[in-house]
Every structure is written in structure tokens, then in C-alpha cells.
Amino acid sequence: MTASDLFEETYSALLANKTRTGLTMLGIIIGIGSVIAMVAIGQGSKGTIESNIQSLGSNLIIIMPGAQRGAGIQISAGRGSSQTLTVDDSDSIQTDIASIKAVAPELSSRYQVTAKGTNTNTQVVGTTSTYPSVRNIEIDSGIFISDQNNSSLSKVAVIGPTVRDDLFGIDVDPVGQTIRIKKIDFKIIGMTKSRGGSGFSNPDDMIFIPLSSAQRFLAGNTYVSTISVQANDQDSMTQTQADITSLLLERHHITDPILADFSILNQSDIIATASSVTDTLSLLLGAVASISLIVGGIGIMNMMLTTVTERTREIGLRKAIGAKSKDINLQFISEAIVLTFSGGVIGIIVGWLVSYAVSYFAGIATSVSINSILLAFGVSAGIGIAFGYYPARRASKLNSIEALRYE
């Protein structure tokens, strides 16, 4: 029996009962399709979150006041409410740590901001001239805060496009206008470029002012709420993070790192954390979808068992005219495989269309990876073999005499 004979036999056997074949295949189509679509959604959101984090800046290390709980001591966990970092800390990082590109201290807090009868509640960030390079911010019009602004306590501000939209309306050039924060007027000297981002802290919805002005006029103290450090490259990040930790511990006179009054995060950690969350999500979605795949597989087994029973006499006849057990086995296995395989191919197309539709209509990013397609293909072939094996074996073990007599 040649391969093409086998295929022909399989083909005509499957076409003999189109409705049943179609319905059984539908189980696999839905199974494979949902695995592909779900994994695509999982992978897509992973990509979105990662690029969101990347857009915060590259090779970023963030130092925040407050600490993890120490042994029986809790200093303060809240960002901003704990005041342990100063501009001096920031300056000494700048001078003492070699493997960094730039340091940007910031003091941020939410304020009610008004301008000519409009108002908004937004994040006001006091920072220095290095901030744009550390945090990947680009200027759309005007200029960013300069070192000169900082040393002279200038009342100037750079606003994000969302703030502009809220206060002045879309497409208005805000440079030269005045906004009022905490009853103090700040003159707008620039606007940042829209990043269209969302996520943890949306840089479009922020107002930047000189750090010194923020400390003096808004907060009334000399602390900073965050120090952002840009490391030279990806590889040196871990070392840089360790260097900064020991420097700050020394400066703060803390000997036990567990009791540190600051916490330090690097971007890879954030990405790793976010990735592990989205990986779990993908896994969960995939697992739920796999259940439907298994149900589809059981449908195939069910159909194959029915087929074997229905075609008992045919099996008997084939044996009588010289088919060996292995020929019969092969024939039924190949029916199951062709069934799952074609179901798998259609399922992949359906899954692809579904993930396309999800990103088109629901706006959720999806990405269909070659891996998930290969996996789906492998799984569908595997299901064909696994769930076709038992019925095929049953068929091949039929006694030809009894099979021929079967009514």
C-alpha cells in the first residue's frame, strides 16, 4: 500500500461523511484557533508593556526613598512621604560613580494647576536639565529647563501635551503663556513631544519645573522624591546598581543593607517583573485554550471509535482481501491525523484572523508568533496520533471472521 493509496483511502473515507467530519474538525479548529489567538493576545500585551517600560528611558536605574520592611523596623514605604534622598545624594552619584551617563533628581507631587480660568490636576515634577536624556523626553517646541533656571530658582515650566490640551486647548502653542501652581505663576518655556504612551506615569500629562524652584516654592524642603540614573549600557547596570547602593548606604551611615532607607530599582527588574506577569497571563490564556483543544481531541477519538464500529465489516473485508493489521492501523491513524491536521491548518488561519480582529476592534496589541504556530501544528498532529491511536488499534485487532459477520 503506497502513501498515495493511503491518502486516497483516507480522503474518500473522510469525505464519505462530510457533516460528521466537519463537526469533528470544528472541535480542533476552535481548539487550535483559540490557542493561537490567546497566546497572541498574551504575547502582544507583553510586548506593549515592555515597550512602555522601555519608553521610560534606556538603561534606567531608579532610586526612591523609603525602604522594604527591615527586621522589625519600618521606616516608611510610601514614595514621596518618606524623605531620605537629597540633591547631595544625587550629586555624589554623579561624581563618584563612573559607569553612568547622567543623573536626574526629581521632586514630584500632584497639584491643582490653573491657567486663565481653566484648571487641571496633574503631576508637577521639579527636575534638572539632564532629565530629558535620562527619561527619553523630547522637546516639541521651546526649550527644556536649564542649569541656569535651576541655580536662579526661575519660575519657568515645561508642560506635556496633555496638560496643554487641558489648559489651553488642542493645537495652541503654549510657550510664553503663564500657569499658576500653588498660587505662584510659572511661565511656560517649552512643551514636550507627545509619546502617546500610557502606563505607569504618563509623561504627556506632566509639568516640569526647575528642581530648586519646586523645593523652595512648592514643597518647602530640600528633599527629592526620585533619583533617575542612566547607566552606560545594559551590561553595567547590575554593577552600577550595587555601586550606588553602597555609596548611598555609606552616605546615610547605614551598615546593614536590609535597613536601607531607600530602594533602588533597575529597568531590567521592572521589565522582568512585568514579563513574568504577562508570561503567567499568556500561560493562563493558553491553558484555558488548551482545554478546548483537548475536548476537540476527545471529539476526534469519539468519531474514530464510531467509525471503526460502523465500518467493522469493511475492516473484515479489507483483512480478507489481504490487508495486514498494520495496514488497517495506518489507515485509521491517518484518518485521525488528516482530520486534526486540516483542522489545525484552518484553526491557525482562524486564530490569526481572531487576533487580527481583536487588535483591530478592541485595540489590544496581539502578536502571532511562529513558535505558537509551530506548537499548534505539532499539538494538532500529536492529538491526531494520540487520540487516533486507540481506535486504530482497536480496528487493527478486530478478528476478521467476526468482523465479516458483524451486523
Partner 1 sequence: MIECRNITKIYSNGGVETIALGGVSFTIKDGEFVAIMGPSGSGKSTLMHILGCLDTPTSGKFLLDNRDISSMSDDQLADIRKEKLGFVFQAFNLLPRATVLRNVSLPLIYSDIPKDKREAIARTSLKNSGLDETHFYHRSNQLSGGQMQRVAIARALVNNPSLVLADEPTGNLDTKTGEIVLHTFQELNRKQKRTIILITHERYVAEHANRIITIRDGLIVEDEINISKREIKYSN
Residues at the site binding partner 1, with contacts judged by CB under 8 A: 1-2, 4-5, 9, 12, 16, 313-314, 316-327, 400-401, 404
* Smallest separation, CB 3 to partner 1 (Å): 11
Pick left, alpha or beta for residue 171 (phi over 0 → left; psi -120 to 50 → alpha; otherwise beta): left
Single out the residue of 346, 323, 342 nearest to residue 334, CA to CA: 342
By beta-carbon proximity to partner 1, the closer residue of 188 and 403 is 403
Q: Is the Cβ of residue 273 or residue 309 nearer to partner 1 in the bound state?
A: 309
Nearer to partner 1, 46 or 319 (CB): 319
Cell of 269: 527588574
Residue with Cβ nearer partner 1 (206 or 395): 395
Toward partner 1, which CB reaches closer, 317 or 364? 317
CB count within 10 Å of CB 238 equals: 14
| Cβ at position 328, least distance to partner 1 in Å | 10
Give the shortest CB-392-to-partner 1 separation in angstroms. 16
Least distance from partner 1 to the Cβ atom of residue 307, Å: 13
Rank residues 167 and 315 by Cβ distance to partner 1 and give the closer one. Answer: 315
Angle at 391 between CA 301 and CA 342, to 5 degrees: 50
| Nearest residue (CB) to partner 1, 288 versus 320 | 320
48 vs 41: CA distance, rounded Å:
10
Choice between 116 and 313, CB closer to partner 1: 313
- Rounded Cα gap, residues 211 and 223, in angstroms: 10
Which residue's CB is nearer to partner 1, number 147 or number 402? 402
List the beta bridge partners of residue 226: 106
CB-CB contact of 405 with 318 (8 Å): no
Are the beta carbons of 211 and 205 closer than 8 angstroms? Answer: no
Residue closer to partner 1 by CB (options 1, 374) is 1
Task: Please provide residue 71's backbone torsions phi and psi, each rounded to the nearest 5 degrees.
Answer: -70, 95
| Least separation in angstroms between CB 361 and partner 1 | 43
CB of 22 to partner 1, least distance (A): 16
Q: Least distance in Å: CB of 5 to partner 1?
A: 5
Q: How far is the CB of 9 from partner 1 (least distance, A)?
A: 7
- Please state the closest distance from residue 314 (CB atom) to partner 1, in A: 6
CB of residue 389 to partner 1, shortest distance in Å: 20
